[in-house]
Amino acid sequence: MSIVAELLANNERYAAGFAHGELPRPPRLPLAIVTCLDGRINPLAILGLGIGDANVIRNAGGRAAEALRSLVVSQHLLATREIIVMHHTDCGSRSFSAEQIRQRVADNLGPDAGTQAGAIDFLSLPDLDDSLRADVELLRASPLLFPETIVTGLIYDVHTGRLREIV
């Protein structure tokens, strides 16, 4: 059985008891969360939230620069006014440099793909705390977000389940 077939069967069970069809488009809380795509991260559960409580934006490393487009939509169309940027320990984005991932793409897919990868800033995380501080400052300084936006930086420990705030 393919993964998709298994997932579609799972969805049938989920849909049979689905009770969230009437939730409004804007989140219950005026909150957007930017976090990593890592499958170990479940931001709603980590923060004690449920479906429809917050907008969740995910990308490799949970980087703010890559999430900015979605945050603009979240603020201007969905009325969010607070942002949590959540990075995490043992993040894969700390294990490579931009040049290493570009080379991997070229090796796997050829020189044309390598050239296209050269145009992408892969936003690796050499230092977790410093990268998170930079992301928080980038959002606080952005002219695209409301000036009163509260931006908080958190680091999630994948080994303990605990959060640590970065000031």
Read off the pLDDT of residues 7-47 as tens digits, 9 standing for 90 and up. 999 999 999 999 999 999 999 999 999 999 999 999 999 99
* Local confidence band at 89 (pLDDT 50, 70, 90 cut-offs): very high
**Contact between 85 and 54 (Cβ < 8 Å):** no
pLDDT tens digits, one per residue of 44-82: 999 999 999 999 999 999 999 999 999 999 999 999 999
Looking at domain 3-88+127-166, which CATH architecture does it have? 3-Layer(aba) Sandwich (3.40)
pLDDT at residue number 47: 98
**Contact between 94 and 128 (Cβ < 8 Å):** yes
Residue 127 CB-half CA count within 13 A: 5
* Local confidence band at 113 (pLDDT 50, 70, 90 cut-offs): very high
* Local confidence band at 98 (pLDDT 50, 70, 90 cut-offs): confident
- State what percent of residues in the chain have pLDDT above 90: 84
pLDDT of residue 160 exceeding 90: yes
pLDDT at residue number 1: 67
- Helices vs. strands in the chain: H and E counts, helices first: 6, 5
Rounded Cα–Cα distance for residues 17 and 1 (Å): 24
Please give the DSSP secondary-structure letter assigned to residue 60: G
